[in-house]
């Protein structure tokens, strides 16, 4: 009897901890004092998150990843939803340009998207943008325009799976920018670990006084 109670209590504790972990936001830890910093943004659109990179001093470009039929063609019936969740399907890479930050902010507000902005090294941002542009242009012959999301999308060589969805792909892009990400990333629920940056700033200030 005691063993059963112990096992039940242990399982309940594990379930509670797992629920807390899943429901807690994934923390983005940006690089500390990056060289030649530029601002980048994570835009959360419901279950999907996108990355916004600078193209030049004013213009911005937003990149996103998803399932081809569901995300690019808007074929969001139960069959395609289940297929995208359970088996590898054709991936899609999408992008959208903005003339300036104010336009990005306005569109994000209209689409009820959450924007998280932080600084990364300029060289890392340029390198990632070049890689994504090449990846997109390589499949330009498959291009489609999604009027619902405002994205232009192409078929991607990376299969879409439950364990490599839009948010997992975003995490890979963030790591290429020198960021670290901690937490559950199956769906879009990101936050910035500002306390981490404040802590490091206080440490540096203490030793540089």
Q: What would the DSSP string read from start to end of the chain?
A: -HHHHHHHHHHHHHHHHHHHHHHSPEEEEPPSS-SSEEEEEEEEETTEEEEEEESSSS-EEEEEEEEIIIIIS---SHHHHHHHHHS-EEEEEEEEEESSHHHHHHHHHHTT-EEEEEEEEHHHHHHHHHHHHHHHHHTGGG-EEETTTTEEEEEEEEEEBTTBSHHHHHHHHHHHTT-EEES--SSS-EEE-HHHHHHHHHHHHHHH-
One digit per residue, the tens of pLDDT, for the chain of length 209 reads 555 554 444 333 333 333 333 345 688 999 999 999 999 999 998 778 999 999 999 999 999 999 999 999 999 787 766 766 778 999 999 999 999 999 999 999 999 999 999 999 999 999 999 999 999 999 999 999 999 999 999 999 999 988 889 889 999 999 999 999 988 675 668 888 765 556 556 666 656 55
> What is the predicted pLDDT for the residue at 175?
96
Output the pLDDT for position 7: 41
Residue 154 has a pLDDT of: 98
pTM of whole model > 0.85? Answer: no
- Between CA 116 and CA 190 the distance in angstroms is 8
Whole-angstrom distance, CA of residue 155 vs CA of residue 69: 10
Instruction: Check: CB of residue 114 under 8 Å from CB of residue 188.
Output: no
Split into its structural domains, the chain has a count of: 1
Distance from C-alpha of 130 to C-alpha of 38, rounded to nearest angstrom: 15
- Give the domain extent around 149: 26-208
Is residue 178 left, alpha or beta, with left meaning phi > 0 and alpha meaning psi from -120 to 50?
left
User: How many angstroms separate the CA atoms of 64 and 57, rounded?
Assistant: 22
Q: Assess if residue 174 is contained within a domain.
A: yes
15 in a structural domain: no
171 part of a folded domain: yes
pLDDT of residue 187: 60
Residue 2 resides in a domain:
no
Q: Which two tokens stand for residue 88?
A: 């590898």
65 in a structural domain: yes
Q: What is the pLDDT of residue 23?
A: 42
Question: 192 in a domain, yes or no?
Answer: yes
Is 169:65 a contact under the CB 8 Å cutoff?
A: yes
Model pLDDT, residue 199: 57
Beta bridge partners of 115: 43
**Tokens of residue 82, six digits:** 């289940």
pLDDT, position 6: 42
16 is a domain residue = no
Q: Answer yes or no: is 80 within a domain.
A: yes
């Amino acid at each position: 009897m005691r063993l059963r109670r112990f096992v039940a209590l242990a399982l309940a504790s594990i379930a509670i901890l797992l629920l807390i972990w899943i429901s807690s936001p994934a923390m983005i830890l940006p690089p500390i004092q990056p060289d030649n910093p530029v601002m980048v943004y994570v835009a959360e659109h419901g279950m999907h998150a996108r990355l916004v990179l600078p193209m030049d001093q004013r213009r911005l470009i937003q990149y996103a990843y998803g399932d081809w039929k569901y995300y690019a063609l808007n074929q969001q019936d139960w069959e395609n939803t289940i297929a995208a969740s359970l088996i590898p399907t054709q991936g899609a890479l999408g992008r959208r340009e903005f003339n300036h930050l104010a336009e990005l902010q306005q569109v994000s507000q209209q689409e009820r998207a959450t924007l998280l902005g932080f600084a990364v090294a300029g060289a890392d941002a340029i390198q990632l943008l070049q890689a994504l542009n090449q990846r997109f242009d390589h499949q330009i012959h498959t291009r489609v325009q999604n009027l619902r999301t405002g994205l232009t999308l192409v078929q991607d060589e990376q299969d879409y799976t439950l364990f490599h969805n839009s948010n997992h792909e975003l995490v890979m892009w963030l790591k290429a920018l020198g960021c670290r990400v901690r937490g559950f990333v199956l769906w879009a629920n990101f936050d910035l670990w500002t306390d981490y940056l404040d802590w490091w700033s206080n440490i540096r200030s203490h030793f540089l006084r």
